[in-house]
């Protein structure tokens, strides 16, 4: 079978979006093309990303740069222990001039929301994001208000400093399509960072590459990427294998399975194809499943890492051998 002209054209448009995003982010963030590709996947899936890494690796800068690349409303929320749910969602207040209660929208009512150091907020405040991230709406005093589209939450957290933090519950983690780590730069990249930031802030040179409406259009096109039955079965087999693994107490949820399916469609399109191949799926297993697995207590005692479990899961499932092409 061969790719249809329509699916190929859509994939080429999405691939161009990915290249432009990589170029613009590359003006600020040095040598992180793979991370940018995964962020593009999340944008095309209209889903959310948790950027988890040690301080100073550029988590917040990366999130701000992604927001600058989109011609959308951007808001940064600095999460702290005293932040209230209404500080995020908004509240009704009494307007003395009109003699009526009016809604004052919170910062969550934006297209791109940077939830900085999300694990510093209390569980009550963290839970205020659940409805927004899953249903793209918030409920304030019994009134449900839709959020603008596109709607993306880019959250950051520091996994090292635990004092004064509140670990994200499983229900919250499951709302994030991907968990990423920026990582330290190489020696050459770190020298390039010094030169790049020597006299100015390169963030000022970043230009928008797409409007919110265009991102939504590309997102719809990504969902048309063909997934062969064998690849769909492969995705399900991987998810079910995490649940059956003896080291895992809680495996990947059905939401994670669907997330891997859609993420593979987006990644295939970013790579210029109108169909998904098994390698697309394998490249996404870690970012999609990693933060959703809970290891058994005995496994943690013996130092078993989630990454090791996922490698064993991938190795245990036979990869579809038949050529996987798109439909006519």
Res 326 pLDDT > 60:
no
pLDDT confidence of residue 301: 66
Q: Residue 327 — pLDDT band, cuts 50, 70, 90?
A: very low
pLDDT confidence of residue 100: 82
Domain 225-328 has CATH 1.10.8.80: yes
| Assigned architecture for domain 1-81+113-120+152-224 | 3-Layer(aba) Sandwich (3.40)
pLDDT confidence of residue 271: 95
Q: Are 147 and 193 in contact (CB under 8 A)?
A: no
Going through the chain in order, the beta strands assigned E by DSSP cover 48-52, 70-71, 74-78, 90-95, 100-105, 112-116, 137-140, 143-146, 152-157, 176-180, 210-211, 248-250, 294-295
Res 328 pLDDT > 50:
no
Cα–Cα distance measured from residue 151 to residue 191, given in angstroms and rounded to the nearest whole number: 35
- Percentage of residues of the chain with pLDDT beyond 90: 51
3-state SS class at 249: strand
Mean of all residue pLDDT scores within the chain: 87
Take residue 290 and report the two structure tokens written for it.
Answer: 């990693």
pLDDT confidence of residue 107: 92
| DSSP collapsed to 3 states, 279-310 | HHHHHHHHHHHHHHCEECHHHHHCCCCHHHHH
pLDDT tens, position by position, 214-261: 999 999 999 999 999 999 999 999 999 999 988 898 899 999 999 999
228-266: string of b/e by CB count within 10 Å (b at 16+)? Answer: beebbebbeebbebbeebebbeebbbeebbebbbbbbbb
Cα–Cα distance measured from residue 326 to residue 209, given in angstroms and rounded to the nearest whole number: 28
Between 5 and 245, the more confident residue is: 245
Q: Residue 6 — pLDDT band, cuts 50, 70, 90?
A: low
Where is mean pLDDT largest: 14-23, 29-38, 299-308?
A: 14-23
Phi and psi angles of residue 43, each rounded to the nearest 5 degrees, phi first = -60, -45
Of 162-171, 273-282, 303-312, which range is least confident? 162-171
pTM equals 0.88
pLDDT confidence of residue 37: 95
pLDDT tens, position by position, 21-57: 999 998 888 888 899 999 999 999 999 999 988 777 7
Q: Are 115 and 154 in contact (CB under 8 A)?
A: yes
What is the Cβ-side half-sphere exposure of residue 195, based on CA atoms within 13 angstroms? 8
pLDDT confidence of residue 128: 85
3-state SS class at 259: helix
Task: State mean pLDDT over 292-313.
Answer: 82
Question: CA angle 295-241-286, nearest 5°?
Answer: 65
| DSSP collapsed to 3 states, 162-192 | CCCCCCCCHHHHCCEEEEECCCCCCHHHHHH
Res 163 pLDDT > 80:
no
The domains of the chain are located at 1-81+113-120+152-224, 225-328
pLDDT confidence of residue 130: 87
- As beta bridge partners, residue 49 has 154, 178
Q: Residue 276 — pLDDT band, cuts 50, 70, 90?
A: very high
Cα–Cα distance measured from residue 189 to residue 318, given in angstroms and rounded to the nearest whole number: 38
């Amino acid at each position: 079978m061969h790719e249809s002209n329509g699916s190929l054209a859509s994939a080429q448009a999405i691939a161009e979006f990915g290249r432009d995003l990589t170029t613009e982010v590359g003006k600020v963030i040095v040598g992180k093309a793979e991370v940018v590709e995964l962020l593009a996947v999340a944008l095309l899936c209209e889903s959310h990303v948790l950027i988890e890494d040690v301080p100073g690796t550029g988590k917040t800068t990366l999130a701000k740069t992604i927001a600058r690349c989109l011609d959308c409303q951007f808001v940064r929320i600095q999460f702290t222990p005293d932040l209230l749910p209404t500080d995020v969602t908004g509240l009704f207040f009494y307007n003395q001039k009109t003699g009526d209660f009016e809604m004052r929208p919170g910062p969550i009512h934006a297209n791109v929301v940077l939830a900085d150091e999300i694990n510093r907020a209390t569980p009550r405040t963290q839970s205020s994001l659940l409805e927004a991230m899953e249903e793209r709406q918030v409920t304030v005093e019994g009134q449900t208000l839709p959020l603008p589209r596109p709607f993306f939450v880019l959250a950051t957290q520091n996994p090292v400093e635990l004092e004064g933090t509140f670990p994200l519950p499983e229900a919250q983690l499951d709302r994030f399509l991907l968990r990423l780590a920026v990582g330290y730069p190489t020696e050459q990249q770190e020298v390039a960072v010094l030169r790049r930031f020597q006299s100015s802030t390169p963030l000022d040179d970043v230009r928008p590459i797409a409007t919110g409406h265009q991102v939504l259009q590309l997102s719809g096109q990504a969902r048309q990427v063909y997934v062969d039955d064998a690849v769909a079965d492969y995705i399900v087999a991987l998810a079910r294998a995490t649940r059956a693994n003896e080291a895992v107490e809680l495996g990947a949820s059905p939401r994670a399975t669907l997330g891997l399916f859609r993420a593979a469609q987006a990644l295939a399109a970013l790579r210029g194809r109108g169909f998904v191949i098994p390698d697309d799926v394998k490249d996404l297993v870690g970012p999609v499943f990693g933060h959703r697995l809970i290891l058994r207590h005995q496994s943690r005692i013996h130092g078993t890492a989630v990454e090791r479990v996922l490698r064993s899961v991938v190795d245990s499932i036979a990869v579809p051998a038949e050529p996987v092409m798109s439909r006519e």
